Chain A
Amino acid sequence: MNPARKRTVRLVVALGAAVILASALIYTSFSAASPALTPSQFLREEQPGRSYQVTGDVVNGSVRHEDGVLHFAVADRAGGGSAIPVSYTGVVPDAFHEGREIIVTVERQGSRYVGERESLITKCPSKYKVAPPSEKQNA
């Protein structure tokens, strides 16, 4: 095989391998992903046995610790809509607090909504927000 032909073969093999790997990657990412929903979307669309990422605010007054399990309710960020009562075990981030924005992976088991272990993420309170002038008037 002359060198030019060898190079073409190499190129084809390399490209082929890249395409196959990329396709495998892309394909599995769709099946391995958990959809991200707001609480009201979750209540509408969820199916038992599948887990979903729920993002929303922790409802004030709903936080309760019981035997190593954290119970709280999460509602839509925009307000309105129903809240989902979640039972969660695992690390509770320092930033977790009523009224804070969280992301947690939830699955419905029977009549309970269970938060997946170690899946609770609390968003750091926004330090980078550009506050509108009116907010700054109160001392």
Chain B
Amino acid sequence: MASLGRLCLLLSLAICVYGVGACIYGVRAGREEWTRAGRRSVYALAGVLTFCFALLEIAFLHSDFALNTVADTSSRTTPAFYKAAAMWSSQEGSLLLWAWLLSLWSSLALFLTRNRLREVTAYATAILLGFGGFFVALMVFYANPFSTTTPAPPEGVGLDPLLRFPTMMIHPPMLYSGYTLATVPFAFAAGALITRQVGGEWIAVVRRFAMASWLFLGVGILLGASWSFSELGWGGYWAWDAVENAALLPWLTGTAFLHSLMIQERRGMLKVWNISLPLATGTLAIMGTFMVRSGILDSIHAFGGATLGTPFLILIAAMLCGSIYLVISRRGQLTSAHRLDSLLSREAIFLFNNLVLVGLAFVIFWGTWFPKISEALTGQTASVGAPWFDRYTVPLALILVLLSGIGPVVAWRRSTFAGIRRNLALPAGAGLLTLAGLLLAGVGHTLAIVMFSCAAFVLGAVAQELWRGTRVRRAASGEIVPIALVRLVARNRRRYGGYIVHIGIAALFVGVAGSSSFQHVDQVGLSPGQSTRVGAYTVKYVRPTASVSAANDTVHTGSTANFGAVLRVTREGRYVTTLRPSEGFYESDEIAEGSVGRLIGGQPVSHVSIQASLTRDLWSAIAPELEAPWLKRIVQIGNKTIPMSRPDEGMIAIAVLAREYLKHPPPAQFRLEVSPLIMWIWLGGLIVFGGGLLALLPAPAVLRRGARVAVRQGASALGGRPATGTTAIAGEAALELADLRAAREVKYRELRELELDYGTGKLSREDYELTGASLRGEALAILDRIEALEGGEAQADGGETTVVEPEVPAGV
């Protein structure tokens, strides 16, 4: 089986090499069958890698310890779910997961774009296959998941107990999906630059993948934070650790890209930004993958030997230099079609947003790489701690939250001071009221109060938008409020999905501010019967708990024994809850610990006990003291009398140990926390995810038809020409046509949104008419150009101009 796996990896490498060659030859020689063959190589790669993945999973589930990966990370006693997930806890397995996900997402991307942007897609295919080939080559030459040892060891090491939690096992597939999806916009951006086709079409193609990448990355980051809080024993969710930052960086540049591409769609501006951001995101994604597994930075997660560092550095350098070269050499194509009309416009806000996000990314990048930077500059390795990060990221985060409330309220192209004042009145009022209320209530911590007020501001702004939009729709359609609201959101998914994401972000930051500023922590040693105070709560150590053997392991992680406590939490005398933290002890393979010591000598894992609620989480962890002399004696006697080869008899000693612990418990170390509002982080994340999904879904076709019909009223209905010209047009004209069609769809949307903006009071009558006239003029110019390219009898109607009056119901 292993040799079959190795063979398949070699086959994958061959497919990648062939595919890259076929694409490049096909696009340069203009021979489509070769570029098609290149695209099919991606599908083939996905197929072969799926087979490899399945092979490896089967090996894990059957505990085939001949394979080194299986022996290193799994064991017969590892529960089945974790056997399957252990596959990607090792270097080799995780590389296979990465390559597999890359091949799957690339196949999807290329399938969906198979009829668009021929040349750009060809180069994008080659680049994606290049990435695939890189990861497969890493496996073939450096870290082969199918490498074996003979004779096969009888038992494996087992999955690291710290990883035996569901959140931790979904975290890599989510994160890797985010990383691999980030290579798709990278590939298309590079392809667009190479072929000099940086018009509107490539943005339309790439937008959904950028969005999907952003979603998965965000989910992956939050899962990691959630695991850290709920399962690790330190009670925090973010430590500005190098590996945490590595995933955050591409997420930040991805967010910037998602916003600023809207400007290019509408005004043809910010082209340099919009080509650089996906290139940066892809490079940062690869850099993040590299940082986790190279050990180059000191970090709690920094695994990995130096062998993989060099190939990654070469790849990142190539991506960086290639991107810079392409952008500079193609800068002629990247000039803006328009200039910024006014600083009081959504375009200006988005530009500022870009700057803040990139600034934030720079701060985090600098702090993360500081050890290497200082080493290079001063010869001395130094690192900056969490306080430094907080000092610079907190103000920037506040600005971001503020912007996320201002943006929805300002119109595209231009607004007036009066208009903005009117529209910001309610949200600002909400924010100021919150500020005043919190100050009067004597709540301390200025920064947290400011953040809460900003969040109230955002909530006010979005609520106002939803309310006004519903009102506009009801005026035209007469529906009742709930239905009008649902239809409004359904017909403007990108806009309202985005607003929902903003609410989610505001909620998330409320959670961050609350849990950082108002947390109470107590670290104390307690004996049974003793109590301690944490914040407003009294926690009493009622009695110890102990359980033995995997069968009784309530957390189902395969621990040998669990020692814990029952804690009774009260507040002002009233019972609140009972917490049951424990620590699980696992087997180790160190013979030096003795036959009994070995059974619990492995790395212990905290099983944190949390009572969560909307207002606060009660968090507790225990570190039981097993080194007490009367307990150690039991282990020592067991080591002397029980042979190493009889672990079942060793379990008897463990049971005696557990009984003794219950009868004569030594004082245990407890860490107790009251973390207010921390639930809002996870809830905010869910809201972000929901809003993002909503924005990802395509607009209903009936809407596009409606707007299109409205604009073409009176113009082109003569003759039986199909609405989307599929006439065969060669070369350059076809490319321009594709760009024009993309621009046309955007113009339709802009017209719809203009109606909505006017109806929700963002525009004065004058601005509405001015902008409407400009948009209609632009739309007509595009339509004329399309008709000219498509040929046909458009001019036969003798200059009958279109009556362009998009109906409100179709738009709203």
Contact = CB atoms under 8 A, between A and B. Distances in A.
Given A7-B339, A65-B627, A94-B233, A21 B160 contact: no
Contact of B381 (A26, A32, A36, A91): A36
Contact of B298 (A33, A103, A105): A103
B791 interface: no
A133 B307 CA distance: 14
B525 A95 contact: no
Contacts of A90: 523
Nearest to B154: A139
B384 A29 contact: yes
A54 to B, nearest CB: 11
Interface in B268-321: 292-293, 295, 298-305, 307-308
Contact of B305 (A34, A118, A130): A130
A127 B383 contact: no
Given A32-B384, A123-B302, A92 B371 contact: no
B160 A127 contact: yes
B269 to A, nearest CB: 12
A34 B374 CA distance: 11
B91 A127 contact: yes
Interface in B361-393: 362-363, 366-367, 370-371, 374, 378, 380-385, 387-388, 391-392
Contacts of B295: 126
Interface residues of A, number: 49
A87 interface: no
A28 B370 CA distance: 12
B627 A94 contact: no
B107 to A, nearest CB: 27
Nearest to A99: B590
Interface in B319-372: 339-340, 355, 359, 362-363, 366-367, 370-371
Nearest to A30: B374
Contact of B339 (A3, A26, A36, A103): A3
Contact of A33 (B72, B303, B370, B523): B370
Contacts of B392: 25
A124 interface: yes
A36 B623 CA distance: 29
Contacts of B91: 127-130
Contacts of B305: 128-130
A22 B362 contact: yes
Given A25-B392, A29-B370, A126 B304 contact: yes
Contacts of A95: 162, 603
A34 B383 contact: yes
Contacts of B627: 65
Contacts of B391: 28
A26 B381 CA distance: 15
B263 to A, nearest CB: 16
A124 B300 contact: yes
B439 interface: no
A1 interface: no
Contacts of B671: 91
A55 B382 CA distance: 12
Interface string B605-626: 1100000000000000001010
Contacts, number: 137
A89 B671 CA distance: 12
Given A94-B233, A103-B298, A127-B303, A28 B388 contact: yes
Contacts of A25: 362-363, 366, 392
B299, B381, B605 pick with most chain A CB within 10 angstroms: B381
Contacts of A105: 385
A131 B523 CA distance: 39
A105 B295 CA distance: 20
A119 B307 CA distance: 30
Taking residues whose C-beta sits less than 8 angstroms from the other chain, chain B's interface range is 35 or more
A125 B293 contact: no
Interface string A80-104: 0000000001111111010000010
Contacts of B293: 128
B328 to A, nearest CB: 18
Given A129-B304, A130-B308, A136-B68, A97 B603 contact: yes
A26 B235 CA distance: 31
B89 A127 contact: yes
B383 A91 contact: no
Contacts of A14: 355
A105 B367 CA distance: 17
Given A93-B234, A94-B604, A124-B162, A21 B382 contact: no
A16 interface: no
A111 interface: no
A29 B524 contact: no
A33, A65, A93, A105 pick with most chain B CB within 10 angstroms: A33
A32 B162 contact: no
A68 B603 contact: no
A45 to B, nearest CB: 9
Contact of A130 (B307, B363, B388): B307
Interface string A59-75: 00000010110000000
A33 B339 contact: no
Contacts of A94: 162, 232-233, 583, 603-606
Given A124-B160, A126-B304, A127-B73, A35 B382 contact: yes
Contacts of B388: 28-29, 32-33
A21 B363 CA distance: 10
A108 B42 CA distance: 59
Contacts of A53: 382-383
A137 interface: yes
A3 B419 CA distance: 23
Contacts of A129: 91, 303-305
A32 B389 CA distance: 10
Contact of A34 (B71, B382, B606): B382
B339 A125 contact: no
B206 to A, nearest CB: 27
Nearest to A37: B381
B562 interface: no
A95 B232 CA distance: 10
Given A7-B339, A131-B68, A125 B302 contact: no
Contact of B603 (A34, A65, A67, A125): A125
B669 interface: yes
Contact of B303 (A32, A36, A65, A124): A124
Interface in B585-609: 603-606
B304 A29 contact: no
B665 to A, nearest CB: 15
Interface of A: 3, 7, 14, 18, 21-22, 25-26, 28-30, 32-37, 53, 55, 65, 67-68, 89-95, 97, 103, 105, 118-119, 121-131, 133, 136-137, 139
Given A29-B388, A130-B308, 10 more contacts: A25-B363, A33-B382, A33-B383, A90-B523, A93-B233, A124-B160, A124-B301, A127-B72, A128-B293, A130-B307
Give the top 10 A-B pairs by smallest Cβ distance, nearest first. Answer: A128-B303, A33-B382, A128-B91, A35-B382, A128-B304, A36-B381, A91-B234, A136-B149, A139-B153, A32-B388
10 contacts: A7-B340, A33-B370, A53-B382, A68-B524, A124-B162, A124-B301, A127-B72, A127-B160, A133-B149, A139-B153
